[in-house]
């Protein structure tokens, strides 16, 4: 497929360098190709969004919502096809890809429901004959910067609330997953968005940086690394531009001695290795109470060794490749460094798919046991199928080990003791806490985002999203 950019309601080629979107399982095969957006294309996209802003913000909520409903129908109807394209482009399995496309449709529908929810508030006034109203207005032109790992779901949960609340959007997706970006933008365009309301520019980091600094951008929502997110926040703070950033994670699962160990093993395995570990909410740390550690760690290692790794489009494959050669090299280097620092591999598989998959960006699932939390792999995000394990003498120690992190995105606790679960709620400073389920997972009707180094600004999803995509006006209304 030839990839183009959407600017001011028209699909057009970029004026930047040529690029090819490759299949990470079979890098010699291209998925799509095109030319990147140039700085001039980015400027044109912002200008189009600014021109479209007054008309779109003045469009009634229900008319804006109707566009999202129509787009949701288009997305859902294409779920099987787009899910396969997602698997070929990003590397997660076909069932995961199809599920993600369907989740995007669900998000669009949920956000469309804003038209039927309260649009403001009324307060009593201490003065006779007066009412106090709190109304909401869109912030203006929103720059949306999205990552590779959820190429349609994360964009949907940023773009849909931005649009329904009356903002216009300039969207820069990760350059490794442009095809799914074009698919989502096409659905919204075909659903009837006016020209300039949504603009898609596929480009590298330099053009993305120019967009962040553009004076026509009123707000920035970003998902990616903590380093980049903080740099964006610092740059925007100097200009008074609000930022919403969902950043890194180093998420822990805590398995206590009283847990249902079979359930815990199933869920920890999914959290660590589904999507090849390429999720900010992935389980990358495991704390096991010592009384059950021998049994549990052996079981997790056995299940990881049994995972079927291969082409994500093939039925029965449970884990696909990493998104790029650089990602595969970084994961391999991280595992090597951890072993050098004293980590003990508990998984035994070293082989990768062969044949026509030998060139793919694969990494075997790895379980590494640590004698202390000193190795770098316990603290730094690796973003791959690697699980670091430590043992704890008791629940209090286990929670302390899980909490000992600069990040605070997600955590999971496995226990049948209600008191222990409540202790986890009080002890673990994270944005998302799961009890007896994996660390990953985000429903569209509840807030999502992290604490500490994992998040900045208002949360995403649910009613929380309007705190970023709107601002309030307090109106003192008095009759004669």
Residues classed as catalytic: 246, 280
Q: How many residues does the chain have?
A: 480
Residue for token pair 């690029």? 19
- Of the candidates 281, 269, 280, the one whose C-alpha atom is nearest the C-alpha of residue 319 is 269
Q: Where are the beta strands (DSSP E) in 206-338?
A: 219-223, 243-246, 251-255, 283-289
CB neighbourhood size of 417 (10 A): 14
Strand 407-408 and strand 451-452: pairing?
antiparallel
* Rounded CA Rg of the chain: 23
Q: What is the rounded CA–CA span in Å between residue 63 and residue 469?
A: 18
The first and second tokens of residue 274, run together, are: 């589904």
- Dihedral angle over CA of 31, 202, 147, 150, nearest 10: -50
Question: Alpha helices of 321-428 — where are they, by DSSP H?
Answer: 325-340, 395-403, 418-427
DSSP annotation of 347: -
Q: Helix, strand or coil for residue 25?
A: coil
């Amino acid at each position: 497929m030839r990839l183009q950019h959407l600017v001011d309601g028209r699909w057009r080629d970029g004026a930047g360098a040529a690029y090819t979107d490759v299949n990470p399982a079979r890098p010699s095969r291209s998925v799509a190709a095109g030319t990147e957006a140039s700085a001039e294309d980015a400027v044109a996209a912002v200008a189009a969004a600014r021109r479209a802003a007054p008309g779109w913000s003045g469009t009634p909520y229900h008319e804006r919502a109707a566009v999202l409903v129509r787009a949701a129908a288009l997305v859902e109807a294409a779920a099987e096809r787009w899910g396969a394209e997602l698997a070929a482009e990003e590397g997660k399995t076909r069932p995961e890809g199809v599920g993600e496309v369907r989740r995007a449709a669900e998000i669009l529908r949920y956000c469309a429901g804003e038209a039927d929810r309260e649009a403001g508030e009324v307060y009593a006034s201490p003065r006779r004959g007066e009412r106090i109203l709190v109304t909401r207005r869109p912030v203006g032109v929103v720059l949306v910067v999205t990552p590779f790992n959820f190429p349609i779901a994360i964009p949907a949960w940023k773009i849909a609330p931005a649009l329904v609340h009356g903002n216009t959007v300039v969207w820069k997706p990760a350059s490794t997953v442009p095809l799914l970006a074009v698919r989502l933008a096409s659905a919204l365009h075909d659903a009837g968005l006016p020209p300039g309301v949504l603009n898609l520019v596929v480009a590298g980091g330099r053009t993305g940086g120019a967009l962040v600094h553009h004076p026509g951008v009123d707000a920035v929502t970003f998902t990616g690394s903590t380093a980049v997110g903080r740099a964006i926040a610092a740059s925007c703070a100097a200009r008074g531009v609000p930022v919403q950033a969902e950043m890194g994670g180093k998420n822990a699962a805590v398995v206590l001695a009283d847990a249902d160990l079979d359930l815990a093993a199933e869920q920890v395995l999914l959290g660590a290795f589904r999507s090849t570990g390429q999720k900010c909410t992935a389980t990358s740390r495991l704390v096991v109470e010592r009384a059950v550690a021998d049994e549990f760690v052996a079981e997790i290692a056995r299940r990881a060794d049994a995972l079927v790794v291969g082409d994500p489009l093939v039925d029965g494959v449970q884990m696909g490749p990493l998104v790029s050669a650089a990602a595969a090299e970084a994961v391999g280097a991280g595992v090597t460094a951890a072993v050098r620092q004293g980590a003990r591999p508990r998984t035994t598989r070293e082989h990768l798919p062969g044949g026509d998959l030998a060139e793919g960006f694969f990494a075997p699932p790895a379980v590494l046991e640590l004698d202390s939390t000193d190795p770098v792999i316990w603290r730094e995000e690796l973003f791959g199928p690697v699980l670091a394990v430590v043992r704890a003498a008791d629940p209090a120690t286990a929670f302390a080990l899980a909490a000992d992190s600069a990040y605070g995105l997600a955590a999971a606790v496995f226990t049948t003791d209600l008191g222990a679960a409540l202790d986890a709620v009080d002890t673990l400073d994270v944005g998302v806490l799961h009890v007896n389920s994996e660390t990953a997972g985000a429903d569209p009707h509840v807030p999502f985002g992290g604490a500490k180094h994992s998040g900045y600004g208002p949360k995403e999803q649910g009613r929380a999203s309007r705190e970023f995509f709107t601002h309030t006006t307090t109106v003192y209304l008095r009759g004669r």
